[in-house]
C-alpha cells in the first residue's frame, strides 16, 4: 500500500538529456535503458523510494517486488499515473474473482492465482511510482487502499455466490465474518509496517504517531476516509503513547540509538505480522480453491488468523515493555 506519509521526490523531466538529470554522472553500460539506470540510481540513493527490505516477507522480497521494481521505470517513462496503476490492479482482482467463481475447474483456480499475483505486482508498483514521480497524496493512498480491499471483496463475493448456490445462504454468514476479520487484520498489519518505517527512518521523531496520514485539503471525502482508517488502526499501535513520547524525547538527541532500539525490539515482530499479509491470504485462497473446498479458507481466516492476531497483539505488548525497560536504563 502506498505510504502517504512519505514525501515524494521531484518528478524526472523526461524531456531533458540524461546527463542533466544525473548531474553529469556517467551511467553504467549494459542492457538496461538510461531511464532504468536513473531509477536504479534513485533506488540506491533515496530512502523515500526504497522499501525496508529487512521487514519484507519472502514472496514480496523474492517475487513481487523485484517484478514491480522492473515495471516502475517503464510506467514512469510512459507517464502513467499511479492511480491508473492502482485501478488496473483492481481490474486484475475483478478478473481473478471471475476465475474463482469457477473454482471447481482447477485451470480457473490457477488463472485466479495468476491474476491476483498481477494485482500484487501492480500494488507494489503504484506506491514506488508515486514516490518517484512526486505524486504522493492522501487521496492516492486511499484509492490504493480501496483497490486493495476491492480485490478481496470481489473474490469473497464470487466465492460466496458460488458456495451459497450449493450449500445454502448460511455461507454468507461465514464469508461476511471472514471479510470483517480480514479488514481488521489488514489494518493492523499495515500499521506495524508503517510504524517501523517511521521509527527506523527517524520521521517519528518529528511526527505525532496518532496522525498516521497527512491531511490533503483537495482530497475531500477521501481524506476523511484516511482519518477513519487511522482510527481503526489505533488499537493495534505497537507501542503506547507514553512509551512513544519517551522514545521520541530520547531520540531527539540520540536519533541513531532510538532507531536501533526500535529495530532491535520490533524487527522480528513485524516479520511475524506478515502472517496476516495479503500475500498469504492470496496463497491460502488458491490452495483452498484448488483443493475444491473454499470454505476451508474462510474458516482459516476466522479462527486461525484471528488467533494469530491475538498472539501478535500480546507479542507487541511484551516488546513494548522491553523497549520501555531499555529506555529506563538508557535515560529515556
pLDDT tens for each residue of 56-82: 999 999 999 999 999 999 999 999 999
- In whole angstroms, give the CA distance from residue 233 to residue 187: 6
Question: Would you call 21 exposed, middle or buried from its count of C-beta atoms within 10 A (0-12, 13-18, 19+)?
Answer: middle
- Superfamily the domain 39-206+219-329 falls into: CDP-alcohol phosphotransferase transmembrane (TM) domain (1.20.120.1760)
Q: What is the pLDDT of residues 182-215, one digit of tens each?
A: 999 999 999 999 999 999 998 887 664 444 444 5
**Average pLDDT in the chain:** 84
Distance CA 89, CA 279 (A): 14
Nearest of 46, 152, 49 to residue 97 by alpha carbon: 152
With 0.75 as the threshold, say if the pTM is over it: yes
Q: Is the pLDDT of residue 237 over 80?
A: yes
Compute the average pLDDT of residues 300-320: 98
Please state the domain extents for the chain.
39-206+219-329
CB 168 within 8 A of CB 293: no
For the chain, the farthest-separated pair of C-alpha atoms sits apart, in whole angstroms, at 68
**Which pLDDT score is estimated for 221?**
61
Of 47-51, 212-216, 248-252, the range with the lowest mean pLDDT is: 212-216
| Number of C-beta neighbours around residue 232 at 10 A | 14
Q: Does 154 have pLDDT greater than 50?
A: yes
Amino acid at each position: 500500500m502506498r505510504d502517504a506519509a512519505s514525501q515524494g521526490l521531484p518528478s524526472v523531466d523526461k524531456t531533458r538529456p540524461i546527463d542533466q538529470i544525473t548531474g553529469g554522472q556517467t551511467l553504467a553500460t549494459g542492457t538496461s535503458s538510461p531511464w532504468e539506470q536513473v531509477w536504479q540510481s534513485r533506488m540506491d540513493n533515496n530512502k523515500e523510494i526504497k522499501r525496508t527490505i529487512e521487514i519484507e516477507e519472502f514472496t514480496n522480497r523474492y517475487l513481487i517486488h523485484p517484478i514491480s521494481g522492473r515495471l516502475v521505470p517503464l510506467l514512469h517513462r510512459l507517464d502513467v499515473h499511479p492511480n491508473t496503476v492502482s485501478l488496473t490492479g483492481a481490474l486484475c482482482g475483478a478478473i481473478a474473482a471471475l476465475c474463482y467463481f469457477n473454482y471447481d475447474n482447477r485451470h480457473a483456480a490457477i488463472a485466479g492465482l495468476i491474476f491476483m499475483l498481477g494485482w500484487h505486482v501492480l500494488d507494489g508498483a503504484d506506491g514506488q511510482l508515486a514516490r518517484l514521480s512526486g505524486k504522493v497524496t492522501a487521496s492516492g493512498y486511499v484509492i490504493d487502499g480501496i483497490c486493495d480491499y476491492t480485490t478481496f471483496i470481489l473474490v469473497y463475493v464470487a466465492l460466496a455466490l458460488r458456495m451459497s448456490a450449493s450449500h445454502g445462504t448460511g455461507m454468507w454468514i461465514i464469508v461476511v465474518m471472514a471479510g470483517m476479520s480480514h479488514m481488521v487484520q489488514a489494518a493492523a498489519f499495515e500499521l506495524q509496517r508503517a510504524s517501523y518505517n517511521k521509527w527506523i527512518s527517524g520521521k517519528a521523531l518529528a511526527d505525532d504517531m496518532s496522525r498516521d496520514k497527512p491531511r490533503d485539503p483537495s482530497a475531500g471525502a477521501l481524506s476523511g476516509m484516511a482519518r477513519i482508517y487511522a482510527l481503526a488502526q489505533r488499537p493495534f499501535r505497537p507501542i503506547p503513547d507514553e512509551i512513544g513520547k519517551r522514545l521520541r524525547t530520547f531520540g531527539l538527541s540520540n536519533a541513531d540509538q532510538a532507531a536501533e532500539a526500535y529495530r532491535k525490539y520490533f524487527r522480528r515482530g513485524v516479520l511475524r505480522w506478515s502472517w496476516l499479509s495479503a500475500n498469504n491470504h492470496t496463497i491460502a485462497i488458491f490452495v483452498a480453491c484448488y483443493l475444491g473446498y473454499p470454505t476451508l479458507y474462510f474458516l482459516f481466516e476466522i479462527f486461525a488468523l484471528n488467533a494469530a492476531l491475538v498472539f501478535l497483539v500480546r507479542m507487541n505488548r511484551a516488546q513494548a515493555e522491553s523497549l520501555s525497560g531499555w529506555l529506563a536504563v538508557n535515560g529515556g
